[in-house]
Amino acid sequence: MGKTPEKSPATAAAKLDPKPASGEDEAFLGAVGERVRNARARRGMSRKLLARDSGVSERYLAQLETGAGNISILLLRQIARAMDLPMGDFLADRPKYGIDQALLLQQIEALTPAQQQDLQNVIRERFGVAPAVKRHIALIGLRGAGKTSLGQRLAAGLGLHFVEMAKEIEAEAGLSLNEIFDLYGQGAYRRFERRALERVTAERAPAVIAAPGSLPSEPGSFAHLLANCFTIWLKARPEEHMGRVIAQGDMRPMAGQTEAMADLKRILAQRETLYAKADMAFDTAGKALDDAAAELLIALQAHPGWLSPAK
């Protein structure tokens, strides 16, 4: 009998070619696109900025976000399914988890959101920073929420130092925020942000910290903030956020105001679940600055979870 001819690489590769996209495939690509779009919104990045920092064209990003991603994504899913492995095992850019870590992650994934929150509290109390060690107060929220103006007044009312994280990041980098983004991109900004945050929270003297609006979208930095600071989410309506930004002299939202408002609402929608992890929420909607500052001080002092430096 003749020898069975070996399959050529081209023939073998052809077997991996996906069938015409099914409804399930389209749903999968749509979900991938939505995750990219939501991640971009949480970070407050425009598609143009993401295209510049990633080296991927705006056209492709638009296709990806609308569910028309590269078909190679489906090929990778076929390979993962053939080995009964999650796609993340091939895509992760970190070392593979050990058995104990993988088992722990599986157990966490099986919990409900409420149970996961309870687990976070247990881990924080058992292994993290105890609430009594939260020397600092951190204000989080979108730009225009009043983090700087209210933060300065809150610090004065409590006799604490006020820290504007944006200035600390600039000091860490030796560059302005615009220069960091223009020269090095968002990845470098996040590294400077984390270093500045760790330096500020390491100070023993308690302070009121105005955190960048997008900081909660970075899991590691946000976890550090939650562990080391009593966090307050300053809430406001999207229209008030935009109005306050314009009142500060930034007229960029006036150009294409409808689109800017839609982007702002999308960012807020993506960050709300993150902001909600704060120790306390305070609604500034419809309040004059002095009234809001006085109410915030009273609400903080009455909050059972906050221990003042004097206690």
Confidence class for position 90, pLDDT limits 50, 70, 90:
low
**Mean pLDDT throughout 94-104?**
69
- Quote the pLDDT of residue 14: 42
93 vs 200, residue with greater confidence:
200
Nearest to 263 by CA among 65, 77, 94, 42: 42
Q: How far apart are CA 49 and CA 33, in angstroms?
A: 17
On the question of pLDDT at 253 being above 80, the answer is no
Element (H, E) at 13: helix 9-14
**Mean pLDDT throughout 61-74?**
80
On the question of pLDDT at 252 being above 70, the answer is no
On the question of pLDDT at 247 being above 80, the answer is no
254 vs 299, residue with greater confidence:
299
- CB under 8 A, 24+ apart: contacts of 169-173: 169/193, 169/196, 169/212, 171/196, 172/196, 172/199
On the question of pLDDT at 181 being above 60, the answer is yes
Which pTM was predicted? 0.69
On the question of pLDDT at 11 being above 50, the answer is no
**Mean pLDDT throughout 102-123?**
80
- Quote the pLDDT of residue 293: 94
Q: How far apart are CA 85 and CA 37, in angstroms?
A: 25
Residues constituting the chain: 311
- Quote the pLDDT of residue 65: 85
Instruction: Find all residues with CB under 8 Å of 87, minimum gap 6, and list them.
Output: 76, 77, 80
